[in-house]
Structure 1
């Protein structure tokens, strides 16, 4: 299989087919086993994705990436995620996650130190935002980065960290000054092997299996000054860049909904009851039509949000609309797919229950639908609402 080079719109379908065949032929046969055993995605497989150029599609060419539009990375994420979310997560994390933030806001030294190995699949980077008492209320975080003569001392605990205990480096959001709320927040890059970094037991989640999640504890972790990515007062900058990760999240949900729809359309034409195919029943037709409407609505909003000029960030309102719609769609469509499959939909054999479990995980990650609804109104009206009063 050839590697991915910088692509334009005319080549995008070729990239889609490359990703689809990879997901279908290489990862679909392994996905159920990895889910059942909660197997973390193998390092050798991540290196294979790197060798194909899939971990650097939207990252700069000078560090080993392709410098292609983000839309091309989203195409790959969707096609692989239809078959295996842990495999797609590797492409998601490299192209839309914290590595993208480093590419946008990091120093030249940080980019050269971290990006080439991520693009090659040798290392990974995860983002650490949530805490035991700061989930949706992210600005309540208390993890602290104290200035020292050599750099910073990190203390605190992070929770619900996707790829926690597995990633090699963490982009840690923390409080860097005594300024209240968001004004004191910034972000520091912390390598997992630094003294004082430890991890809690991996969570046993309903879905998201194959994507480890664990607490991260920072016990007076010393990091050099050159690991500072964004200083205090840069929270808005960080969360503007986080909209790219939310686009990746949107695409994972879109893939789940599309996969459930595709399997259902095939099933209702083959399965017979009362002497005829299920699709001949009007009630089934109405349900399938609702599934199509929901998937296509999410796709149109995702495409709109992903259509932004190179070198800029997506419109945050468009992203919130797309993410909320796709997250809710994936939950509803996978549920309807299970119903139309009847007892078969409740078995592991057909993979629909796995799609449904994963749909709930992606809806929680990166900002819940409830929080996205709040953001939609806030962004539409151009004002913030204080949830604490």
Structure 2
């Protein structure tokens, strides 16, 4: 068992770090202030530098590296902000990977190379007004006809809603009850009968657009079926990788906060000396480092054990739950250590705190991850309806 990154992994991590720290802070501030996503020009630049589809197969335009390599890059971008990291997140651990694993060959070749080339953004649409944690209560329905899937219903909290070029939409594809009737289809932006609600105004995640999506007899080709009815388990297997991405986005808020506050406590002077010389500050910094390292190791374990495949529910849920919780704690400590500078919107620390809370809600709330962990430990799912 080797806990060291290889020389190639270290080089990739350093390349991502240098680019992110040199090029993205000013952009991140602008996205935060204006609540707009990264420009298509910036996303194309990511592609040119090899930061999109890192773990996607080369035949679809990716680099063909492992999940760990992808998450190394996600963290370096997330240290700057969730908004600038989101295109990397979506291309490496998002719905594109569900298409790669389960979609038709025609759909893979039509969509994935565009994402890896920075020419398209794909989002996932899962939740509904009455189906968030209880995802098997989905009501949006796709009626399969001779030559199309006809979608009707509404989706909620779609990150990328109204901005992405296509959506992997979870919906009912048969009359079978519960999970047995659920599958997913890919819907192109601009499909007739598809409309969007207004961009949500959230506590954090500014620069990551989110909106409702409504379907009124929206027709999509049969080749756009990603997973047929009864494939809910496959969708959740793909989502195990997205959990690792979510964990890494949360980790990025914490590790970025720690790096920033380490510099601050060595420069900030009170009572005639740097505040790092006070034991209370030393203890707090040590506690923050312990939590960041532990979260990172849980994420690395899930990614490394999956290699090129999909992580297990247990390891991905452990990583997500722990990273979500420590991100809130570490960014909170960082705000406190920086005092008014941490609380001021003139500086990025308060934004890290707001985003850290969001990652523990997105992609399955913290307590749902704990239910997943207990379920994996005893080997059976819990029926929450009885």
1:165 and 2:147 matched: no
Q: Unaligned stretches of 5+ in structure 2? A: none
Q: 1:352 to 1:140 in 2, by over 3 A?
A: same
The TM-score, its normalising length taken from structure 2, stands at: 0.97
Please report how far the alpha carbon of residue 89 of structure 1 lies from its aligned counterpart in structure 2 after TM superposition: 0.7
For 1:257-296, list aligned pairs within 5 A.
257-296=254-293
Q: Unaligned stretches of 5+ in structure 1? A: 1-7
1:386 is matched with 383
> Which aligned runs of 4 or more in structure 1 are off by greater than 3 angstroms?
none
2:133 to 112, 132, 136: 136
1:336 and 2:345 matched: no
2:187 to 169, 185, 190: 190
For 1:1-389, list aligned pairs within 5 A.
9-389=6-386
Please report how far the alpha carbon of residue 274 of structure 1 lies from its aligned counterpart in structure 2 after TM superposition: 1.3
Q: Give the root-mean-square deviation of aligned CA atoms.
A: 1.1
Q: Distance in 2 between matches of 1:133 and 1:337?
A: 36
- Secondary structure at the residue paired with 2:305? coil
Q: Distance in 1 between matches of 2:62 and 2:301?
A: 25
Q: Distance in 2 between matches of 1:174 and 1:72?
A: 32
Please report how far the alpha carbon of residue 311 of structure 1 lies from its aligned counterpart in structure 2 after TM superposition: 4.4
The TM-score, its normalising length taken from structure 1, stands at: 0.96
- Secondary structure at the residue paired with 2:7? helix
Considering Cα pairs closer than 8 Å and 6+ residues apart, tell me whether 1 or 2 has the greater RCO.
2
Please report how far the alpha carbon of residue 64 of structure 1 lies from its aligned counterpart in structure 2 after TM superposition: 1.4
Deviation sequence 1:290-335 (CA, Å, 0-9, x none): 1111111111111111112544321210111110000011111000
Please report how far the alpha carbon of residue 386 of structure 1 lies from its aligned counterpart in structure 2 after TM superposition: 1.2
Instruction: Give the conservation status (yes or no) of the 8 Å contact 1:23–1:84.
Output: no
Q: Distance in 2 between matches of 1:121 and 1:312?
A: 23
Instruction: Give the conservation status (yes or no) of the 8 Å contact 1:173–1:188.
Output: yes
Please report how far the alpha carbon of residue 179 of structure 1 lies from its aligned counterpart in structure 2 after TM superposition: 0.9
Q: 1:330 to 1:310 in 2, by over 3 A?
A: closer
- Secondary structure at the residue paired with 1:17? helix
- Secondary structure at the residue paired with 1:307? helix
Instruction: Give the conservation status (yes or no) of the 8 Å contact 1:41–1:86.
Output: yes
Q: Distance in 2 between matches of 1:361 and 1:190?
A: 26
